[in-house]
Structure 1
Amino acid sequence: MVATSTLKAKGSDYHPEWVERKQGQVYIEKDSWDHSSSELQRNADAAEDLACQQLAKMFESCLSRAKKTTLHCSSVLVPEKLTRRIAREVLRLAAGEPCGLRGCILFVHLELDKGCKQLESIACDATVVPTFELSLVLRQDGTAWPSLRDFFFMGTCFAPAFRHALKLSPGFRLVKRKLYSSSAGTVIEEC
């Protein structure tokens, strides 16, 4: 590989073991590319962490809105790191797509005893025509014991608008459907 720029003789960017000069051109040895590639990998990891954090916040906001509008409960209890795990899986499934996450339309569902309830649909980038759909199916935690307060208020006239806290299971399902290819099937991920 040939680099045509000049190197500083002093400073933190200069590493004499990486450079070989021949006839006015600078040749950089393989070790420097390993250093550069590791730096690129760190930058990519940082960008992925940021995207993961933003997605996790988006899921938390979705659940917060659904608590008031669709679920009609006082609170939604989310297992620790569930939204981060979901975000990582969504990013992994979006990685091989032509537009990446920008081409995703995401449907968030909650699986209840009586069936599935759609909480929200989210276009990751409204300016891009969706190339794939992801359906996230969250599950209610069936092992959770209702609190004494829930037993007290269930079916009574004390608080007709009050509902108990909804606890989510740590497991979820992601269903991916490509919109640009008729030959591509549906991918179901159980997590």
Structure 2
Amino acid sequence: MDNHTSTEPNVGDVLFYVRTCHLVTMLENSLYRAKSAKLQCSNVLVPKELTTRVAQEVLKLSLNEPCGLRGCIIYVSLESNNKQAVLDTMVYDCSVEPTFELKLVLKQDTRGWDYLRDLIINRTCFPQLFTRVIKLSNKFHISKRRLYFSVIGAGNEEC
């Protein structure tokens, strides 16, 4: 009986972790750029683990794609008061023709935030810092659309 347990990480787990980190960084950078360019706000409050959960969902949706994550294009929007604003378009690998697209809809959380923000604004020396703060919800929606037709017996897609 072998009691030796391997302490080496599984290559698949390492790749999943690296890709998750890369997607998280891409999404955070996208939100940072959208903050002033599209949202005209001073801060975007992002719930802990939201970007990680989004990244993991994107990875799951790319598993059965011919080019995997490299063939992904992601359209990022923010939903607020039943209206959507397009924030950014993220391409994982610009050298690969997209084979599928994801539409990511982040949701604004207004529950209780308006009251708290008003309380801060009225009791602080710097009310202008809190007037345009957007708080994201833990909830998001992601939909997928393939950009190719699957043909039985067709050759492999070159990625």
Please, what TM-score do these two structures have when normalized by structure 1?
Answer: 0.67
Unaligned runs of 5+ in 2: 152-159
Deviation at 1:51, TM superposition (A): 0.7
Query: Residue 144 of structure 1 contacts residue 167 of structure 1 at CA under 8 Å; is this kept in 2?
Result: no
What is the match of residue 104 of structure 2?
136
Residue 168 (structure 1) aligned with residue 147 (structure 2): no
Which of 144, 148, 154 lines up with 2:118 in the alignment?
A: 148
Measured in 2, the distance between the counterparts of 1:144 and 1:49 equals 34
Opposite residue 88 of structure 1, the aligned amino acid is: Q
Query: Residue 35 of structure 2 contacts residue 43 of structure 2 at CA under 8 Å; is this kept in 1?
Result: yes
Deviation at 1:142, TM superposition (A): 2.5
Measured in 2, the distance between the counterparts of 1:83 and 1:113 equals 22
Identity, % of aligned positions: 44
Give per-residue Cα distances to partners, 1:16-47, cap 9 Å, x unaligned: x9xxxxxxxxxxxxx9xxx99x96x7111011
Measured in 2, the distance between the counterparts of 1:100 and 1:52 equals 14
Measured in 2, the distance between the counterparts of 1:90 and 1:106 equals 9
Matches within 5 A, 1:4-43: 42-43=10-11
Measured in 1, the distance between the counterparts of 2:96 and 2:83 equals 32
* Distance change (3 Å), C-alpha of 1:163 and 1:73: farther
Q: Which has the higher contact order (CA 8 A, sep 6+)?
A: 2
Query: Residue 121 of structure 2 contacts residue 131 of structure 2 at CA under 8 Å; is this kept in 1?
Result: no
Which of 26, 45, 54 lines up with 2:13 in the alignment?
A: 45
What is the match of residue 75 of structure 1?
43
Measured in 2, the distance between the counterparts of 1:182 and 1:173 equals 25
Unaligned runs of 5+ in 1: 1-16, 18-30, 153-157, 184-191
Runs of 4+ in 1 over 6 A off after TM superposition: none
Please, what TM-score do these two structures have when normalized by structure 2?
Answer: 0.79
Residue 122 (structure 1) aligned with residue 107 (structure 2): no
Matches within 5 A, 1:98-113: 98-113=66-81
Between the two proteins, the alignment pairs up a number of residues equal to: 143
SS in 2 for 1:148: helix
Please tell me whether Structure 1 or Structure 2 has the larger radius of gyration of its CA atoms. 1
SS in 2 for 1:137: strand
Opposite residue 99 of structure 1, the aligned amino acid is: C
SS in 2 for 1:130: coil
Deviation at 1:181, TM superposition (A): 2.0
